[in-house]
Structure 1
């Protein structure tokens, strides 16, 4: 069990994200949470991003 706090911002073709996980179980005595940083770069044409093939 944990509580997760998320934040993010998009700048042009980059997305920056941050997350902080706070544990609610007994391991919390030994850990003060987890920090996560994410950088996502978008490449190519976004218009074709979700073109799916027909499946039968």
Structure 2
């Protein structure tokens, strides 16, 4: 696994945790980024909007 794939996996794992805990509407990209230990910009680099995260995580 390369660094890009590792970051994407960390973001997806974090998004699943946040969505499971808070639900889609209350989940924020800021919290996903914090849980994944990446910047908000990094999340948006890989997933342009929150909808993209939920689609990939499902």
Structures share fold, TM-score greater than 0.5:
no
Question: What TM-score results when the alignment is normalised by the length of structure 2?
Answer: 0.22
Q: Which has the higher contact order (CA 8 A, sep 6+)?
A: 2
Structure number with higher strand proportion: 1
Question: What TM-score results when the alignment is normalised by the length of structure 1?
Answer: 0.22
Structure number with higher helix proportion: 2
- Give the greater-gyration-radius structure (CA): 1
